[in-house]
Amino acid sequence: WKLFHDPHKQWKLFHDPQQQWILFHDPQQQWKLFHDPQQQWNLFLDPQQQWKLFHDPQQQWKLFLDPQQLWKLFLVEIVPRPTTTVDIVPRPTATVEIVPRSTTTVEFVPRPTTTVEIVPRPTTTVEIVPRSTTTVEIVPRPTATEEIVPRPTTTVEIVPRSTTTVAIVPRPTTTEEFVPRPTTTVEFVPRPTTTVEFVPRPTTTVEIVPRSTTTVEIVPRPTTTEEIVPRPTTTVEIVPRFTKTVEIVPRPTTTVDIVPRPTATVEIVPRSTTTVEFVPRPTTTVEIVPRPTTTVEIVPRSTTTVEIVPRPTTIVEIVPRSTTTVAIVPRPTTTVEFVPRPTTTVEIVPRPTTTVKIVPRPTT
C-alpha cells in the first residue's frame, strides 16, 4: 500500500503488491500513475520544469547536465549494482552491577557520645536523549505531457482542362472517363502509455531501552564521622545516528519537435479554348499544328522541381520525398483529317479533383 496527497489536500491510498506502479507529479500539481511491470520507462525534467518519459528497455541511457543547464542523454553499458542490505543492530543493554562496600567493624575506646550526621548521596538522574526522527520527503515527479503536432493537410487541386469546341467532320461523340487513383490512408497505432509506480522505502523505528535505575543504600558506620563526597552528576548524551538526506534529482525533459512537411501546391495552367471553324470543301485535309512546347517550372517550398511538359510527347516526373517516381504518359499526338460533314461538338470531360490527405506520424 502507498500513500500520496492529491490536489484537494486529501490523502489517498493505493495497493501495489508487485511494486509495478510509479507515482509522479505533473506541473498542474496533480498526481499521476503509470504502469511499468518491466521497469523500462524513465522520468526526467526539462528546463521548463516539466516531466517527460522516455523508453529504455535495456537501461542503457544516462543523463548529464551541460553548462547551459540543459539535460542530455548518452548511451552506456550499465553494470547492475549489487543489492546492499544494511542490518540495523540494536545497541545491547548494559547492566551495571554495583558492588557494595565491605562492612568494617572498628572497636573504639569509650568516648563521649558523638552525633554523626550522615549526608546521603544525591540521586543521580541519567537523561536519555532519544534519537531524532528523520522525515524523508519524497518529491514526486510531475506528469510528462507531450503535445503531438499533426502535419498539415496538403491539398493538391488539379485544374481541369478547358473545353475545346472544334467544328470537325461529323463523327460519333467519344467520352473518355478518367478513373482517379484510390486514396490510401495509413494509420499509425501509437504506443500504449505505461505507468510506473515508485514504491517508497519502509520506515524503520529503533527503540532505545533506557538503563535501569539502581538505588544504593549506605549503612552508616557506628560512631564515625565520615564525610561522604557525593558522586558528580553524570549526563550521558546519546548522539543520534547520522541523518542522511537523499535528494532525488529529476531527470530533464527531452522535447522532439516534428517539423511538418511543407505544403506543395501544383498549379496546372489549362489550355485556352480554341474554336476552329472549317468551311466545307471537297477532299480538304485540315492539319492542326499543336502549340510549341512550353516548360513550366514550379519550385515549391520543399525544393521539389515539378516540370510540366505539354501533351505532345510529354512525361511529367514528380519525385516526392519518398523517392517515388510517377510517370504520367501523355496522350499520343493525333492528326485528324476532316471531311465535309455536319458540324459535331466533342465534349472533353475534365479529370476529377483528387485530395491527398497526409496522416501525421505518431510522436516518439
pLDDT recorded at residue 359: 78
**205-217 confidence digits (pLDDT tens):** 777 776 766 676 7
* C-alpha cell of residue 238: 546519546
**326-361 confidence digits (pLDDT tens):** 567 677 776 767 777 666 677 787 777 777 777 778
**137-147 confidence digits (pLDDT tens):** 787 776 666 77
Residue 315: pLDDT band with limits 50, 70, 90:
low
| Lowest mean pLDDT, pick from 28-32, 163-167, 172-176, 180-184 | 28-32
Q: Which amino acid is at 17?
A: P
Residues sharing a CB contact under 8 Å with residue 85, sequence separation 6 or more, in sequence order: none
Q: Rounded to an integer, what distance in angstroms lies between the CA atom of residue 358 and that of residue 152? A: 8
pLDDT recorded at residue 3: 60
Contact 126, 235 (CB under 8 A): yes
Phi, psi at residue 359, to the nearest 5°?
Answer: -80, 125
What is the average pLDDT score of the chain? 69
- The rounded percent of the chain whose pLDDT value lies above 70 is 50
**62-97 confidence digits (pLDDT tens):** 555 455 555 555 555 556 677 878 788 877 777 778
Mean pLDDT, residues 288-304 taken together:
66
pLDDT recorded at residue 37: 61
| Lowest mean pLDDT, pick from 18-32, 92-106, 280-294 | 18-32
Q: Rounded to an integer, what distance in angstroms lies between the CA atom of residue 57 and that of residue 196? A: 13
**246-287 confidence digits (pLDDT tens):** 777 777 776 767 776 766 666 777 676 667 677 777 766 667
pLDDT recorded at residue 233: 74
Q: What pTM, to 2 d.p., does this model score?
A: 0.13
Q: Rounded to an integer, what distance in angstroms lies between the CA atom of residue 151 and that of residue 321? A: 15
